[in-house]
Amino acid sequence: EVQLQASGGGLVQAGESLRLSCTASGRGFKLHEHVIGWFRQAPGKEREGVSCIDPMDGSTIYADSVKGRFTVSSDNAKNTVTLQMSGLKPEDSAMYYCATVFSLPCSLKRENFDYWGQGTQVTVSS
């Protein structure tokens, strides 16, 4: 069983930055054998993919809405993935979730991920 712990959310003003972290654990878990995705869900909206990283080679993908503002990175030794969010906008406000799946390519499709963290709230005021 894999456990994911997301943290770092908070209340910020538009234009400011936040750093979210996702720490994975589980018996025998190795970060480089999994891809880690970040998703977000605002009230009344579908959960959408934001970013994904393959810690094996560091390759990343981003949703168009966050390209150039968000950066995802991994620390394989610590089984931790970080989402650095800059230039935040009110429309970035949502509950942010990290998710993982074993040995599949990166994706922004929620159905491709098996394990989910509990979420961390990001609120951006205008």
Tens digit of each residue's pLDDT (9 = 90 or more) over 64-119: 999 999 999 999 999 999 999 999 999 999 999 999 999 899 999 999 999 999 99
Average pLDDT on 57-66 reads 97
Counting residues of the chain whose pLDDT is more than 70, the rounded percentage is 100
Residue 21 confidence class, pLDDT cut points 50, 70, 90: very high
Residue 81, classed as helix, strand or coil, is: strand
Do the beta carbons of residue 70 and residue 124 sit within 8 Å?
A: no
Overall average pLDDT of the 15-35 stretch: 95
pLDDT at 119: 95
The radius of gyration of the chain from alpha carbons, rounded to an integer in Å, stands at: 13
The secondary structure of 19-71 as a DSSP string is EEEEEEE-TT--GGGEEEEEEEE-TTS--EEEEEEETTTTEEEE-TTTTTTEE
